[in-house]
């Protein structure tokens, strides 16, 4: 123990003296230069003979040469790279990584395999050596689990986002995923599944391929034969180049590269095309029409210069793909991070791990040679904070330690090469414009902005594949059909059969299926007990749960059903209406009272009286025609108000307020008079029908029973949407039950006031029942459609076929065949009230009332002002009560008092003018009573004075 303690103390003093020595001798000189070693060792692990490895090896070597020849990067320090071949083996990769740890390796570039990266990342974490992978795209290689793992390429999370958006862009809903069954393939498919789900798409079938040479051509053929029998025709291929080419070759042999198929390959194929073109013609034949993703690297002068240099190095025998560019930039990333590391005083030093020593004790693995990079965390920090412009564009990491601005090229293989049809970037989605031009604009992910150039699909066609077919495995669609016991014109089971049906809905379905561009095998399956109409909600639910593949019949498209299934285009208009008994209204001696309701008559009569009183108040003080004994004034008020109805009032209005009120009232009278005349004319000349039910509102506000059809959604709508008590709802199973219940009426047991049902049923019912009519308007809008499971592509194709049936007239012909209406239906009209209600005129009465109120308010203000300026009369008593009584009497007397003309001179002028006119008449011999008139006028003048 003492010996160990002494050794540690000696080691401590040794390092202290070494530190002082270095500090003293470095004084006055640059710390940046003196602390830099002459050579820094970095490692590289990848598969040398793979599609990616061949290019990466040469790219890394050229990057090291360029870094060492550029003094401004490491200021004289040279990089030395040690390369190891992992052979795409996790075990080999781990062994090579452990061997690296026996040397002074400060960083490892690679590996290219996600499988190897998962294993080596544990070693890198333990020994604190940054691991910069230029090709491991597995999304699950997270920074939380592997803090020393740095991905210097794009994660498959973004690549799968691009694939999902392409699928959604072309309107496909299901894909088949073929993947390599390892960490790279499985985790990539998991990411694709999530991204498709975000767009309401899904992977319908997953097919794993054994990694390495385990899969033979025969195995691949057996797997693809099963794929050919599936419904989806959109296949996503996420494998390695060797197995991918074999799969496409077998698919070409099985004629799965023809019309109707869609193949989407991830960037494994673009790497092969970029590095190995031109491929043999037989290989290119198997790739025609395939969509391929390639990591996008923006064009730049530096990139073009490097491509030129690359072609000189390889003589055109080896192309440069995006992974080679990322490998090149990874070396530069290490160089920039080391430069910052040395600038911050970082020292390359290693120490032994005590835990490894304890494990090694007594063993023969020689693990003691492995050491921990002491300043590894500092170098890792500088790697993540480095920012520079590389061959692949801006090298910068975001908060999630991913390279910023991920983007992909979308290419289409055709002929002896390929054509780029657009781009995908995480910023704005699909576009035909390079992503660099979009970054300066606000992001726009609207569907109208998602664009790609035209594609030549497999089979050399420009028409977008439908993406699915009916599976070629003998399976028939199970079509649920309701067994109705009423209204058999729509759907009915053929007597004596189990799965044969007829009717309007069946004929429409068969006609639509016959228009589809492919065969649809199906069989009808009865739904219901045949004793009563089945519940259509349960039928739709059976489609949602997979009991049926579709449902055909008179199925209304309503909200709660659209939440669980997809419907085709409606093939028949539908909506709830009210049916009730009616009676014919004939003209009678009192028909003239029918245009107005009782309330309208009362309000109109009261308005006439009010207008007469208001005008009398406004005119009483200044108009002699509104003065006189009380009896006369009462008659004047009544006569004046009633005569305005015919615009025959003889009393002139003198005051401005009175004229204003009268003008507005005459306008109201004009509207009322015109409306009354029009309504009465209609009543006397047109036959009218009447019903105590006026529509759904009056039915809702009453407490009378309401009938509905068994199985219809009307029950749910009436109870849940309108809030009508279920105790009022009476189920009815047939048209005969409708008629019987309506004839009994709401007062008798089993009777109803009205029946609420869908319009097509009502039209059939009324075609033979002329005693009932539709009351009011249709209060819901819906239609009948065929139900399919969610995201079923057949729903879209059937909708197209139904529209075609409607356009060519076949739908109308089928309707006429089954639902031709009788003469009784032709006479039927919707019953509506022909009476004029107060609600139609309340605005006019309100305007008139406001005018009267304002006029009276101004008039009384004038009276009060005159009362305030009037001379006070002597009074005996001065008590408060007498004072108020006196003021009230004075106020009433002012209202009743005839107003003194404020300008008597003007009246004299009128009288003088009258005298002058009389003199003229006298001279002409036309005024024999001149003397009598003069005496009258003079006496009037005296009385006024």
What is the residue-wise DSSP string for 89-157? -HHHHHHHHHHHTTTTEEEEE--S-HHHHHHHHHHHHHHT--EEESS---TT--TTT-TTEEE-S--HH
Q: How far apart are CA 356 and CA 371, in angstroms?
A: 9
Of the pLDDT bands very low, low, confident and very high (cuts 50, 70, 90), residue 884 is low
Q: What confidence tens digit (pLDDT) does each residue in 60-75 have?
A: 999 999 999 999 999 8
Q: What confidence tens digit (pLDDT) does each residue in 905-919 have?
A: 444 344 434 444 544
Q: Tell me the mean pLDDT in the region 788-796.
A: 88
For the domain 39-152+303-355+365-395, what is the CATH code? 3.40.50.2300
Q: Output the pLDDT for position 605.
A: 84
Phi, psi of 688 (to 5 degrees): -120, 150
Q: How far apart are CA 54 and CA 59, in angstroms?
A: 9
Q: What confidence tens digit (pLDDT) does each residue in 278-326 have?
A: 889 999 999 999 999 999 999 999 999 999 999 999 988 899 999 999 9
Q: Tell me the mean pLDDT in the region 183-211.
A: 93
Q: Is the pLDDT of residue 848 over 90?
A: no
pTM for the structure as a whole: 0.66
What is residue 423's DSSP assignment? E
- For residues 322 and 270, is the Cβ–Cβ distance under 8 A? yes
The 3-state DSSP class for residue 892 equals helix
What is residue 36's DSSP assignment? -
Q: How far apart are CA 255 and CA 221, in angstroms?
A: 12
Q: Output the pLDDT for position 908.
A: 39
The string of DSSP letters for 582-595 reads: -EEEPP-TTGGGTT
Q: Output the pLDDT for position 132.
A: 95
Bridge partner residues of 133 (DSSP): 151
Bridge partner residues of 293 (DSSP): 410
The 3-state DSSP class for residue 868 equals helix
Q: How far apart are CA 904 and CA 782, in angstroms?
A: 77
Interacting residues of 336 by C-beta distance below 8 A, sequence separation 6+: 73, 382, 386, 388
Q: Which of 180-184, 470-474, 718-722 has the lowest mean pLDDT?
A: 470-474
Q: Is the pLDDT of residue 199 over 50?
A: yes
Q: Tell me the mean pLDDT in the region 223-252.
A: 93
More confident residue, 24 or 421: 421
Q: Output the pLDDT for position 286.
A: 93
Q: Output the pLDDT for position 923.
A: 44
Residue owning tokens 């919707």: 830
Q: Tell me the mean pLDDT in the region 88-92.
A: 79
Question: Chain-wide mean pLDDT for the chain?
Answer: 82
Of the pLDDT bands very low, low, confident and very high (cuts 50, 70, 90), residue 364 is very low
Q: Output the pLDDT for position 237.
A: 97
Q: Tell me the mean pLDDT in the region 38-63.
A: 93
Q: Is the pLDDT of residue 20 over 80?
A: no
Q: Output the pLDDT for position 514.
A: 92
**Secondary structure string (H, E, C) spanning 823-839:** HHHHHCCCECCCCECHH
Q: Tell me the mean pLDDT in the region 348-362.
A: 64
Q: Output the pLDDT for position 639.
A: 78
Q: Give CA angle at 49 (369, 42), nearest 5°.
A: 35
Q: Which CATH class is domain 690-781?
A: alpha beta
Q: What confidence tens digit (pLDDT) does each residue in 116-175 have?
A: 999 889 888 888 999 999 999 999 998 888 999 999 999 999 999 999 999 999 989 899
Would 156-299+406-449 and 477-574+784-819 be classified into the same CATH topology? Answer: no
More confident residue, 688 or 403: 403
Q: Where are the domains of the chain?
A: 39-152+303-355+365-395, 156-299+406-449, 477-574+784-819, 591-685, 690-781
Interacting residues of 424 by C-beta distance below 8 A, sequence separation 6+: 161, 162, 165, 166, 293, 407, 408, 410, 430, 431
For residue 156 the two structure tokens come to 């498959």
Q: Which of 45-59, 79-93, 818-832 has the lowest mean pLDDT?
A: 818-832
Q: How far apart are CA 379 and CA 129, in angstroms?
A: 9
Q: How many helices (H) and strands (E) does the chain have?
A: 34, 33
* Alpha-carbon torsion angle 275, 276, 277, 278, nearest 10: 170
Q: Output the pLDDT for position 32.
A: 41
Q: How far apart are CA 306 and CA 325, in angstroms?
A: 10
Q: How far apart are CA 285 and CA 301, in angstroms?
A: 35
Neighbours of 849 (CB within 10 A): 16
Q: Which of 235-244, 321-330, 919-928 has the lowest mean pLDDT?
A: 919-928
Q: Output the pLDDT for position 720.
A: 86
Q: Is the pLDDT of residue 899 over 90?
A: no
Q: Output the pLDDT for position 692.
A: 66
Q: Output the pLDDT for position 930.
A: 44
For the domain 156-299+406-449, what is the CATH code? 3.40.50.2300
Q: Tell me the mean pLDDT in the region 324-351.
A: 93
Q: Which of 51-65, 539-553, 735-749, 890-904 has the lowest mean pLDDT?
A: 890-904
Of the pLDDT bands very low, low, confident and very high (cuts 50, 70, 90), residue 847 is confident
More confident residue, 655 or 920: 655
What are the Cα distances from residue 346, in Å, to 335, 343, 373, 667, 914? 14, 7, 11, 97, 124
The string of DSSP letters for 638-656 reads: HHHHHHGGGT---PPP-SH
Q: Output the pLDDT for position 246.
A: 94
Q: What confidence tens digit (pLDDT) does each residue in 449-496 have?
A: 899 999 999 999 999 998 888 766 557 889 999 999 999 999 999 988
For the domain 477-574+784-819, what is the CATH code? 3.40.190.10
Q: How far apart are CA 322 and CA 326, in angstroms?
A: 6
Closest by CA to 764, choosing from 565, 534, 577, 502, is 577
Decide: residue 645, CB within 10 A, 0-12 exposed, 13-18 middle, 19+ buried: middle
Q: How far apart are CA 648 and CA 643, in angstroms?
A: 5
Closest by CA to 837, choosing from 740, 695, 728, 665, is 695
For residue 860 the two structure tokens come to 């009384």
Q: Is the pLDDT of residue 333 over 70?
A: yes
């Amino acid at each position: 123990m003492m010996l160990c303690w002494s050794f540690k103390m000696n080691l401590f003093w040794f390092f202290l003296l070494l530190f002082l020595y270095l500090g003293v001798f470095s004084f006055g000189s640059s710390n940046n230069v003196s602390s830099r070693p002459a050579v820094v060792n970095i490692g590289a692990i990848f598969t040398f003979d793979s599609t990616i490895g061949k290019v990466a090896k040469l790219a890394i070597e050229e990057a090291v040469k360029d870094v060492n020849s550029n003094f401004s990067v490491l200021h004289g320090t040279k990089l030395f790279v040690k390369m190891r071949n992992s052979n795409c083996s996790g075990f080999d990769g781990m062994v090579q990584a452990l061997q690296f740890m026996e040397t002074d390796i400060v960083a490892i570039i690679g590996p290219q395999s996600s499988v190897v990266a998962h294993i080596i990342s544990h070693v890198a974490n333990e020994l604190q050596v940054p691991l910069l992978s230029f090709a491991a795209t597995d999304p699950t290689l997270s920074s939380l689990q592997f803090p020393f793992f740095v991905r210097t390429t794009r994660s498959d999370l973004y690549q799968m986002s691009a694939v999902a958006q392409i699928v959604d862009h072309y309107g496909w809903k299901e894909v088949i995923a073929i993947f390599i069954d390892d960490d790279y393939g499985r985790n990539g498919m998991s990411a694709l599944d999530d991204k498709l789900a975000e767009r309401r798409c899904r992977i319908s079938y997953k097919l794993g391929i054994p990694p390495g040479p385990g899969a033979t051509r025969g195995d691949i053929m057996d797997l693809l034969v099963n794929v050919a029998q599936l419904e989806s025709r959109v296949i996503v291929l996420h494998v390695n180049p060797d197995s991918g080419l074999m799969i496409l070759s077998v698919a070409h042999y099985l004629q799965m590269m023809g019309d109707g198929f869609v193949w989407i390959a991830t960037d494994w194929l673009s790497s092969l095309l970029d590095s190995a073109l031109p491929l043999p013609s037989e290989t290119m034949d198997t790739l025609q029409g395939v969509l391929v993703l390639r990591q996008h690297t923006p064009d730049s002068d530096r990139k073009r210069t490097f491509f030129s240099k690359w072609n000189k190095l390889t003589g055109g025998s080896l192309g440069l793909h995006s992974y080679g560019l990322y490998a090149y930039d990874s070396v530069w990333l290490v160089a920039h991070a080391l430069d910052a590391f040395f600038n911050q005083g970082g020292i390359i030093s290693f120490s032994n791990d005590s835990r490894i020593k304890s494990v090694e004790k007594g063993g023969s693995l020689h693990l003691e040679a492995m050491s921990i990079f002491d300043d590894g965390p500092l170098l890792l920090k500088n790697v993540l904070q480095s920012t520079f412009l590389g061959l692949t564009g801006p090298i910068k990491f975001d908060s999630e330690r991913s390279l910023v601005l991920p983007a992909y090229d979308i290419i289409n293989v055709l002929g002896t090469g390929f054509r780029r049809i657009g781009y995908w970037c995480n910023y704005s989605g699909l576009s035909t414009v390079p992503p660099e031009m979009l970054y300066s604009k606000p992001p726009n992910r609207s569907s109208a902005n998602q664009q790609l150039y035209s594609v030549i699909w497999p089979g050399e066609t420009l028409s977008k594949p439908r993406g699915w077919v009916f599976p070629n495995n003998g399976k028939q669609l199970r079509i649920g059909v309701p067994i109705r016991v009423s209204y058999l014109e729509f759907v009915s089971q053929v007597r004596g059969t189990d799965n044969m049906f007829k009717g309007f809905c069946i004929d429409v379905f068969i006609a639509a299926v016959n228009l589809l561009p492919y065969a649809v095998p199906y069989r009808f399956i009865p739904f219901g007990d045949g004793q009563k109409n089945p519940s259509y909600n349960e039928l739709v639910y059976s489609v949602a749960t997979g009991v049926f593949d579709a449902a055909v019949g008179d199925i209304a498209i309503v909200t709660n059903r659209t939440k669980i299934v997809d419907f085709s285009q409606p093939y028949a208009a539908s909506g709830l209406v009210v049916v009730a008994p009616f009676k014919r209204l004939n003209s009678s001696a009192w028909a003239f009272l029918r245009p107005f309701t009782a309330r309208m008559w009362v309000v109109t009569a009261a308005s006439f009286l009010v207008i007469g009183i208001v005008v009398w108040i406004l005119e009483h003080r200044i108009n002699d025609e509104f003065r006189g004994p009380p009896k006369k004034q009462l008659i004047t008020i009544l006569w004046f108000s009633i005569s305005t109805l015919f615009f025959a009032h003889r009393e002139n209005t003198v005051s401005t307020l009175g004229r204003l009120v009268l003008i507005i009232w005459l306008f109201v009278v004009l509207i009322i008079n015109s409306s009354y005349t029009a309504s009465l004319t209609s009543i006397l000349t047109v036959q009218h029908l009447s019903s105590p039910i006026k529509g759904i509102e009056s039915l809702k506000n009453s407490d009378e029973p309401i009938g509905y059809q068994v199985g219809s959604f009307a029950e749910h709508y009436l109870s849940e949407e309108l809030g009508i008590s279920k105790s009022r709802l009476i189920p009815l199973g047939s048209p005969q039950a409708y008629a019987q219940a309506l004839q009994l009426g709401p007062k008798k047991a089993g009777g109803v006031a009205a029946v609420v049902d869908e319009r097509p049923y009502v039209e059939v019912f009324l075609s033979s029942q002329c005693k009932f009519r539709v009351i009011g308007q249709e209060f819901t809008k819906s239609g009948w459609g065929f139900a399919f499971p969610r995201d079923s592509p057949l729903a879209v194709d059937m909708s197209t076929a139904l529209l075609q049936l409607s356009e060519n007239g076949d739908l109308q012909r089928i309707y006429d065949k089954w639902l031709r209406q009788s003469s009784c239906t032709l006479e039927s009209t919707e019953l509506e009230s022909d009476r004029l209600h107060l609600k139609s005129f309340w605005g006019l009465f309100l305007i008139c009332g406001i005018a009267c109120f304002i006029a009276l308010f101004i008039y009384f203000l004038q009276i009060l002002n005159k009362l305030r300026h009037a001379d006070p009369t002597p009074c005996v008593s001065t008590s408060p009560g007498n004072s108020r009584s006196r003021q009230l009497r004075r106020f009433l007397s002012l209202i009743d008092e005839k107003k003194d003309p404020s300008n008597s001179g003007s009246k004299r002028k009128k009288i003088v003018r009258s005298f002058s006119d009389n003199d003229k008449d006298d001279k002409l011999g036309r005024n024999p009573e001149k003397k009598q008139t003069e005496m009258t006028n003079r006496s009037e003048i005296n009385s006024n004075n």
